[in-house]
Structure 1
Amino acid sequence: MTAPTDSAAPTAFTDALAAAHRPLIMEVKRQDADGRDLTRGRPVAEIVRGYEEAGAPCISVVTGRWFGGTEDLLAEVAALTRLPLLRKDFITGRRQLERTRALGASAVLLTAKVLPAGALARLTDQALECGLTPFVEVADAAEAAGVHRGAQCVVAVNNKDITTRERLAGDLDRGASLLPELLRTGTRFPVSASAIDTPERAAALVHAGFRALLMGTSLLAAPSLPDWCAAYDTALLRAPHTDREVSGDPARALQRRRPAG
């Protein structure tokens, strides 16, 4: 295969993020980190339909066993929607990348915490060769500095700690403080992922400079997804406009915009 270039060519996944009215990557996962059922008896088709109606630009599908996922879940979602899909799992080899593409995904999670720098660079190249957008997840500045071909990647900060299997509370302030490091990778799509629990905090992250948010548990647990999205839209209109550019300290801005209580 031809080696990927350094240009940031658009992909189905990044095109969808760039055009999103609500830049919320909505996630399908069967259970949370503590094993609690998130589907609440709903068929996957109902969840996917709700995400489509809510204007999700992309859908994330968790195939990792921590969260009750399987490859069959990805195949099922791919058969239900034409939206670009992100596969979330611990990917360590090319065969998994090829399988991911065959199952219908457009993007693939690469977790810097579990991949040596050389392996992360190799898998980034191989993902691009397979036609997949690398969705690189980092947790600190050193991991962000190791991102390879950042201009061709979506780069996300995980607000939770995978070393505790994401069972502890996340830290949105820590995640927001890493936004400048994400931008230094060259990515056009810095993403905040996990622990985003309210529409107001989601809106604050977008105004702090994140181009998209990856959300699962809070959306799946919401009594009404349309109401949650309406509250997000309202919060976004109320927050000071920054044209999604970083202004000052994003973590401090997030703290200022948090709701009381």
Structure 2
Amino acid sequence: MSQPFIDALLGSGRPVIMEVKPRSADGEDLLRGRSPTEIADRYEAVGAPCLSVVTGRWFGGHLGLLAEVTGHTQLPVLQKDFLTNADQLRQASDLGAAAVLLTAALLPKVALARLAEQALALGLTPFIEVATSAEVDALPPCEGCVVAVNNKDIRTRERGDADLDRSRRLLPAVRGTGSPCPVSASGIDDPRVAARLLSAGYAGLLVGSHLLRADRLEAWCAELDEALLAAPVPRRSG
């Protein structure tokens, strides 16, 4: 059994959710001839506490990808897709996911609260994605949930540059939601930037395309570890 998604992040000295997705928003092949399980093994070898698997069609994903990865690893896995109903949550659970993406921009407040409750009842961690202060303000109580700031814009299918200042601006509001696990997601390429986000108070980061492109993943992780020694992460309790 995988340990709960939040516990895995909070218990990690390098709380980076590493992502498996077939292609970038611009259509770049990110697998580059590798199987999803090979990528999962590579992430597990460098100490990833959790994985994210993109099943959304924008990025060439599909449900078979989720089943392949969860059937291969014991790490907690997030299903990243635009989930909008209880049947999709049950399907995610049946396929071995430990967490599910709920996108605040797409879900009315009542629907988001209902889906978060249903996810928790299924043993899934709601990974609630926000991009504006209004979305944060409209969130239901978030105990037991991840609240993740997306540094990219889904309205443009996450094409273009990331706005990392968004994570810095929204952190106080996100911490006020009651979530034990604020996460900064997308567009985090530089290990020194990653360390600063963790030191500022984020409990985890989600890094996708950059790590899939990285020829020297171990070197990226080592640089992050070195940067964290210079700017330690605040201690948290789960």
Bin of the TM-score, shorter chain as denominator length: over 0.9
Q: Distance in 2 between matches of 1:78 and 1:220?
A: 18
Provide, for residues 61-85 of structure 1, a one-character-per-residue CA deviation record: whole Å limited to 9, x for no partner.
0000000000000000011100011
1:159 and 2:151 correspond: yes
Q: Does 2:92 correspond to 1:100?
A: yes
User: What percent of counterpart residues are identical?
Assistant: 57
After superposition, the C-alpha distances for 1:213-259 in whole angstroms (9 at most, x for unaligned) are 011111111111111101111111123x46268xxxxxxxxxxxxxx
| C-alpha contact 1:63 1:71 (8 A) present in aligned 2 | yes
Q: Cα–Cα, structure 1 residues 146 and 172, in superposed 2: closer, same or farther, change >3 Å?
A: same
Which of 180, 185, 200 aligns to 1:208? It is 200
Given that 1:57 and 1:84 are in contact with CA atoms closer than 8 Å, whether structure 2 keeps it comes out as yes
Q: 1:185 aligns with which of 170, 177, 196?
A: 177
User: CA contact under 8 A between 2:19 and 2:53: conserved in structure 1?
Assistant: yes
- Secondary structure, in 3 states, of the residue corresponding to 1:76? helix
Rounded Cα–Cα distance in structure 1 between residues aligned with 2:85 and 2:221:
37
Matched, 1:138 2:137: no
How far apart, in 1, do the equivalents of 2:64 and 2:45 lie? 23
Question: What secondary structure is seen at the aligned counterpart in 1 of 2:129?
Answer: strand
CA distance in 2, matches of 1:38, 1:185: 34
Cα distance in 2, alignment partners of residues 242 and 165 from structure 1:
31
Q: Is 2:106 the partner of 1:129?
A: no
Matched AA of 1:42: R
Which position in structure 1 is the counterpart of 2:234? Answer: 243
> Which protein shows a greater Rg?
1
Gaps of 5+ in 1: 1-10, 246-261
Q: Quick check: 1:154–1:191 contact (8 Å CA) kept in 2? A: yes
| Displacement after TM superposition at 1:120 (Å) | 0.6
One of 149, 161, 177 as aligned partner of 2:141: 149
Q: Which amino acid aligns with 1:159?
A: N
Q: Which letter maps to 1:68? A: G
2:71 maps to which residue?
79
Query: Contact 1:21–1:55 (CA<8 Å) still a contact in 2?
Result: no
1:78-121 deviation line (CA, Å, top 9, x unaligned): 11100011000000100000000000001000000111111111
| Distance in 1 separating the partners of 2:81 and 2:91 | 12
How far residue 149 of structure 1 moved from its aligned partner, in angstroms, is 2.7
Matched letter for residue 70 of structure 1:
H
1:3 corresponds in structure 2 to: none
Structure 2 distance, partners of 1:151, 1:26, is: 23
CA distance in 1, matches of 2:221, 2:28: 23
Aligned residues: 234
Asked whether 1:29 is paired with 2:21, we answer yes
2:5 is aligned to 13
C-alpha distance 222-95 of structure 1, shift in aligned 2 (>3 A): same
Q: So what's the TM-score if we normalise by structure 2?
A: 0.95
1:218 paired to 2:204: no
Q: Unaligned regions of 5+ residues in structure 2, if any?
A: none
Q: Distance in 2 between matches of 1:215 and 1:19?
A: 18
**Which of 26, 43, 46 lines up with 1:54 in the alignment?**
46
Letter in 1 for 2:191: P
What amino acid is aligned across from residue 107 of structure 2 in structure 1?
L
How far 1:45 moved relative to its partner?
1.7
Q: Give distance in 2, aligned partners of 1:101 and 1:93.
A: 13
